Amino acid sequence: MQFSTKIFAQADINNPKLLKSSLVTLLSQASDCLVLAYSKADLDALGSAKSKTGILLELDRLLNGSVMHANLVGDLDALQASTCILRADPSWGKSGVKVKRILLVSLGDVSSAVARSLTAYSKIARATLKQLSGGSIQNALWFIPSFALGHRADFIAEEVRLAIQYAGDQAYRFGVRHPSMKFKAKDKADTFAHLIFAGNEACAKELKSAVSEGAAMVEGMNLSKDLGNLPPNICTPTYLGKTAQGLSKKTGLKVEVLGRKQIEALGMGSFLAVAKGSDTPPQFIVMRHQGGKAGEAPIVFVGKGITFDTGGISLKPGEAMDEMKYDMCGAASVIGTMYAAALMKLKKNVIGVIPTCENMPSGQATRPGDIVKSMSGQTIEVLNTDAEGRLILCDALTYVERFKPKAVIDVATLTGACIIALGHVHSGLFSEDEGLVQALTNAGHASLDTVWRLPLDAAYHEQLKSNFADVANIGGRPAGSVTAACFLSRFTEKYKWAHLDVAGTAWKSGAAKGATGRPVPLLINYLLEQK
């Protein structure tokens, strides 16, 4: 899917003097479908004898009564996100109309603040995209100022990025981008190919940057979804390393992939304890995007890359175990975010770090009761080999100290307990840095890829006490997500840190089984908000 912009300098539908000429310009574009929005007030005006203006009335005059007719047969509704398609008839040509269809979308009663919220807008965007897809529409011209009625100008960027995010979600089909991924030959996207966002002078700058940011984000999300959905016999640690290196050739990201010997040399005894049970070698991936000044402190993302989690010797039950191929979704989201940041030439220094291996049972595997030494020097009593995510992350968190980061955010499908706490709605957010909590919460609201804060205080650390080592790797059933985060926090004392538990949000189960691409939108919006 392709996204682009088209600027009509003078088009302004909020100025009654310019309304007619704006519509004439838009209608004269060769497009499969022009998308325009109307409010409840516009619809009221259409039905009233006294009104002389409003987008629907003006449009009706230009379309020889087509809008009145649609209203007469009951196709127009004031209810927010209701839609109506007007199809070209021969009489339109006389007025110079070139668009083949007009999709009218209701903004509802825009005098209410709720109707102007981003959540309300997201419903409108979804309804619009649904109408545009599945039929013969190939390209659409979406006039953004008609949706921005009563909105702040800076809101437009969020709205446009969100629309692109949704369009990307709608168009995504597993494995259509890379020939090596074609497992289901016929799975083709049944959606339109080109979405053009139209604007005017007043929003041109915001619009252009939002479209290129949104398009880059969709690329990052698609890659992240593909990596998550790939089967675990193909998406191995080596495959993740090769993928990262491939991006380096494509975008100029600097990528380093360390193998077992180098990981041993770094003293990552905890990470290696997880990798031990598998015949496939572990990899430690470092990706750098240098878009900022040379000495500028980087933002660092760390992603959990367990390419398959059997539980190890503490073997998981068989039901839905296939879904543990998704245990590398943290890693996939970091790779996707780095790719998007590079594509949008973000003017910041960003580093992505990924410890990746399999968690398998074997004669070589770590046993419950084993004690291992982490890179930080702290010893860990492994009481459950299925709590492996924290064991690979803790060494990565120690490793990133060398970057003197501005902030470190790790992303992990860390605990089943997080699904019990938050379901599949919000990702779990753990941090003691109020600034980071605020920034991530805001980024979640802007992308509707939301987070919910859970606690991380000293009281929970009690549960991780070990009689034989500095710390145990499990804290029992109560507050399982919190004790997992507490474990990680012991390795993050040198910098500002937040942990995202995406166990409930990174993929969907059941009939719609598939990776969601979350939290790429959250991380991209976070990066864009950093001044």
**337 vs 481, which CB is nearer to ligand BES?**
481
Minimal distance, residue 414 CB to ligand BES, in Å: 6
Contact yes or no for 227/235 (Cβ under 8 A)? yes
DSSP conformational letter for 288: E
Does residue 413 belong to the site contacting ligand BES (CB under 6 A)?
A: yes
The one among 60, 219, 386, 501 contacting Mn ion by CB under 5 A: 386
Minimal distance, residue 416 CB to Mn ion, in Å: 9
How are strands ordered across the β-sheet holding 2-7? 2-7, 194-199, 139-143, 33-38, 101-106, 83-87
Task: Report what 341 binds from Mn ion, Zn ion, ligand BES, none; CB cut-off 5-8 Å by kind.
Answer: none
Measured distance CA(237)–CA(131) in Å, rounded: 40
Report in angstroms the alpha-carbon separations of 303 from 73, 101, 290, 396, 453.
Answer: 54, 45, 19, 9, 19
List binders of Mn ion among 388-407 (CB under 5 A).
388
- Count CA atoms closer than 13 A to 467's CA, side-chain side: 1
Binding mask 275-314 for Zn ion (x = CB under 5 A): -------------------------------x--x-----
Provide CB contacts within 8 A for 527, sequence distance 6+. Answer: 299, 337, 341, 346, 348, 350
Strand 283-290 and strand 349-359: the pairing is antiparallel
390 is catalytic: yes
Measured distance CA(381)–CA(376) in Å, rounded: 15
The widest CA-to-CA distance across the chain, in whole angstroms, is: 87
Measured distance CA(119)–CA(446) in Å, rounded: 9
Task: Report what 474 binds from ligand BES, Zn ion, Mn ion, none; CB cut-off 5-8 Å by kind.
Answer: ligand BES
Residue 380: beta bridge partners? Answer: 372, 471
**226 vs 388, which CB is nearer to Mn ion?**
388
Nearest CA among 123, 118, 125, 128 for reference residue 151: 118
Minimal distance, residue 30 CB to Mn ion, in Å: 55
Nearest 5°: phi and psi at 407? -160, 150
State the residue number with the nearest CB to Mn ion: 386
Q: Return the range that interacts with Mn ion (CB under 5 A); candidates 45-53, 156-164, 331-339, 385-393.
A: 385-393
Q: Return the range that interacts with ligand BES (CB under 6 A); candidates 1-9, 39-47, 150-158, 379-387.
A: 379-387
State the residue number with the nearest CB to ligand BES: 416
Q: One of 316, 373, 406, 508 is an active-site residue; which one? A: 316
The one among 145, 389, 428, 444 contacting ligand BES by CB under 6 A: 389
Q: Return the range that interacts with ligand BES (CB under 6 A); candidates 25-33, 252-260, 384-392, 439-447.
A: 384-392
Contact yes or no for 141/33 (Cβ under 8 A)? yes
Is residue 2 helix, strand or coil?
A: strand
The one among 60, 219, 309, 410 contacting Mn ion by CB under 5 A: 309
Measured distance CA(169)–CA(225) in Å, rounded: 10
Q: One of 101, 304, 348, 390 is an active-site residue; which one? A: 390
Q: Return the range that interacts with Zn ion (CB under 5 A); candidates 173-181, 191-199, 322-330, 346-354.
A: 322-330
Measured distance CA(161)–CA(215) in Å, rounded: 8
List binders of Mn ion among 166-225 (CB under 5 A).
none
Four-CA torsion 394, 412, 288, 523, nearest 10 degrees: -130
Does residue 417 belong to the site contacting ligand BES (CB under 6 A)?
A: yes
**141 vs 393, which CB is nearer to Mn ion?**
393
Minimal distance, residue 378 CB to Zn ion, in Å: 21
Q: Return the range that interacts with Zn ion (CB under 5 A); candidates 26-34, 170-178, 323-331, 419-427.
A: 323-331
316 is catalytic: yes
Nearest 5°: phi and psi at 125? -65, -45
List binders of ligand BES among 465-524 (CB under 6 A).
474, 480, 503
Number of residues located near Zn ion, criterion CB under 5 A: 4
Contact yes or no for 388/315 (Cβ under 8 A)? no
Minimal distance, residue 309 CB to Mn ion, in Å: 4
List binders of ligand BES among 16-45 (CB under 6 A).
none
DSSP conformational letter for 262: H
Nearest CA among 497, 341, 479 for reference residue 430: 497
**226 vs 309, which CB is nearer to Mn ion?**
309
Is residue 104 helix, strand or coil?
A: strand
Measured distance CA(517)–CA(244) in Å, rounded: 17
Task: Report what 503 binds from ligand BES, Mn ion, Zn ion, none; CB cut-off 5-8 Å by kind.
Answer: ligand BES
Q: Return the range that interacts with ligand BES (CB under 6 A); candidates 114-122, 170-178, 386-394, 517-525.
A: 386-394
Minimal distance, residue 427 CB to ligand BES, in Å: 12
H helix or E strand, kind and range, residue 285: strand 283-290
Does residue 389 belong to the site contacting Zn ion (CB under 5 A)?
A: yes
Structure tokens belonging to residue 7: 């600027």
Minimal distance, residue 320 CB to ligand BES, in Å: 8
Nearest CA among 496, 440, 430 for reference residue 297: 496
**346 vs 488, which CB is nearer to ligand BES?**
488
List binders of ligand BES among 266-325 (CB under 6 A).
309
Contact yes or no for 238/180 (Cβ under 8 A)? no
**Residues with active-site annotation:** 316, 390
Judged by the rule CB under 5 A, the positions of this chain that interact with Mn ion are 309, 386, 388
Judged by the rule CB under 5 A, the positions of this chain that interact with Zn ion are 306, 309, 327, 389
Judged by the rule CB under 6 A, the positions of this chain that interact with ligand BES are 309, 327, 384, 386-389, 413, 415-417, 474, 480, 503
